[in-house]
Amino acid sequence: MNKHSRRDFVKQTSFLAGGIFSAPLIAGATNYHSGAAGTIKIAVVGCGGRGTGATLQALVARPEVTLVAMADAFRDRLDSCYKTLMSEDASDSKGNKVDLKPKIQVPEENKFTGFDAYKKAIALADVVILTTPPGFRPIHFEEAISQGKHVFMEKPVATDPAGVQKVLAAAAIAKEKKLNVVVGLQRHYQNSYRELFKRKDMIGDIVSAQAWWDNDGVWVNKRKYQQTEMEYQMRNWYYFNWLCGDHITEQHIHNIDVINWFKGGYPVKAQGIGGRQVRKGKEYGEIFDHHYVEFHYADGSILNSQCRHIPGTMSKVDELLVGTKGKIFAGAANIVDYKGKVLYQYDTKLENNPYQTEHDELFDAIVKGEYKFADAENGAKSTMTSILGRMATYSGQVIEWDKAINSGLSIQPKVYDWNAAPPTLPNEDGFYPVAVPGKTTY
């Protein structure tokens, strides 16, 4: 059992959205975790690429961290994650070989598969790593917080407004219970961004911004013989909105979130254009291959956001903030005035691996009994921003934040079962319905 409820914490005052509380809360006692003395038990839910990476980063973050349970929808994914972590080739973020075997204590009975696997794995841990496709994050996060666990969860944290609301509700409970929650919007844990953020006033008021996630796109998992429709969509999850949220949510959230962070708020409305120019095959499910969105903030400033998955086009993943006195170029890690004078240049030799820092700081806080991280609210609101963008490009309408977040829109299946029907189904030729601006209403 987690012992957080016995902690006597100093009341916290303020925090940076998605970052660290300005004044860490110090626990009255030494243990903020359970199990044998000096052990922090972790469980991973979603044993794919990021689940494997995040578990490795958690294990090397502190000597106390031990992996005790694993959960995945599929046994083969769980096994390959276990094999990678147990491998003699495992290495840390600096490329040094690490022997994780003594820290991996996952007997067969602690390896769980299927849609309910998460509940059993979460029960065995002090800290859970939630790294499934984002459609499941709200139910997994809600369960972790209800069971009183600290959480590292990947972005995005939902794929629809109903999921965002679920995460916001659980985030409030996490705060009451003083459970640390880190969200994998790792730019908040990256030295260059943190240094730029400290100096953001050098550019005066932020009047506009640009954000890009333009590249070739990602993997495709083709349909296999005798797969049910549910299994096929779960294996090829990137292309189905209930699982992925479209790439504006799944990837471009990183850049949109940076603008929200520096603006200190979230847009009040959005409008945009998008479609699928090259992503025409049935294996691409229902998502677009490009979105361009104007996000309007309450002060009248606008974020011009673009994301594109089209091979052979310009690649750019970056953010630019335009202020009354100058500009912040996130990728170049500098601040420049309107005469072209460089006001600040971050020394990129000091850059860290933010994926590792997320875990170093989270587990450091847990070991010290500190309540330091409450990223879920910002994670949910930045997720909502990206969903707002998708609703705007799919519908071709101006979408208002308040209406969208309170719309109750859920695109999740009614039943999670390998033989159940997912919310979107192919026609007789195997093609899925795709949003048509002007006709699609969400």
Ligand X SMILES: NC(=O)c1ccc[n+]([C@@H]2O[C@H](COP(=O)([O-])OP(=O)(O)OC[C@H]3O[C@@H](n4cnc5c(N)ncnc54)[C@H](O)[C@@H]3O)[C@@H](O)[C@H]2O)c1
Provide the binding-site residues for ligand X, judged by CB under 6 A.
45-51, 71-74, 77, 115, 117-118, 131-134, 136, 154-155, 184, 186, 234, 250
- To ligand X, the closest distance from the beta carbon of 102 in angstroms equals 25
Q: How far is the CB of 114 from ligand X (least distance, A)?
A: 8
- Is 206 in contact with 178 (CB distance < 8 Å)? no
Using the structure block, give the residue that is written with the tokens 């998460």: 118
| C-beta of 134 vs 422, nearer to ligand X | 134
Nearest-approach distance from CB 379 to ligand X, in angstroms: 11
Question: Residue 402: helix, strand or coil by DSSP?
Answer: helix
Q: Among residues 255 and 393, whose Cβ is nearest to ligand X?
A: 255
Q: Say if strands 127-130 and 111-113 run parallel, antiparallel, or are unpaired.
A: unpaired
Shortest distance, position 132 Cβ to ligand X, whole Å: 4
Residues linked to residue 329 through DSSP beta bridges, in sequence order: 320, 334
- CB nearer to ligand X: pick between 249 and 271: 249
Give min distance, CB of 14 to ligand X, in A: 26
Sorted by sequence, the CB contacts under 8 Å of residue 159 that are 6+ apart come out as: 134, 135, 241, 242, 243, 244, 245, 249, 387, 411, 412
Question: Closest approach of Cβ 154 to ligand X, in Å?
Answer: 4
Smallest gap from Cβ 403 to ligand X, in A, equals 26
Q: Which is nearer to ligand X, 145 or 203 (CB)?
A: 145
What DSSP character marks residue 282? Answer: G
Two structure tokens written together for 259: 């603008």
| Neighbouring C-beta atoms of residue 51, cutoff 10 Å | 23
- Can you state the angle between helices 161-177 and 376-395, rounded to 10 degrees? 170
Report CA-CA distances (Å) from 254 to 133, 213, 261, 278, 377: 16, 9, 11, 24, 15
Q: Cα separations (Å) of 87 from 80, 92, 109, 323? A: 10, 12, 21, 49
The least CB distance from residue 269 to ligand X, in Å, is 25
In the complex with ligand X, the residue whose CB is nearer, 132 or 255, is: 132
Q: Side chain identity at 256, as an amino acid letter?
A: I
* Dist CA 406 CA 402 (whole Å): 6
Shorter beta-carbon distance to ligand X: residue 334 or 386: 386
Q: At what angle do helices 376-395 and 253-263 cross, to 10 degrees?
A: 120
Distance CA 352, CA 183 (A): 17
The minimum distance between CB 182 and ligand X, in angstroms, equals: 11
Q: Which is nearer to ligand X, 64 or 160 (CB)?
A: 160
Task: Select 48 or 148, whichever has its Cβ closest to ligand X.
Answer: 48
Nearer to ligand X by Cβ, of 142 and 337: the residue is 142
Q: Which residue is nearest to ligand X (CB)?
A: 48
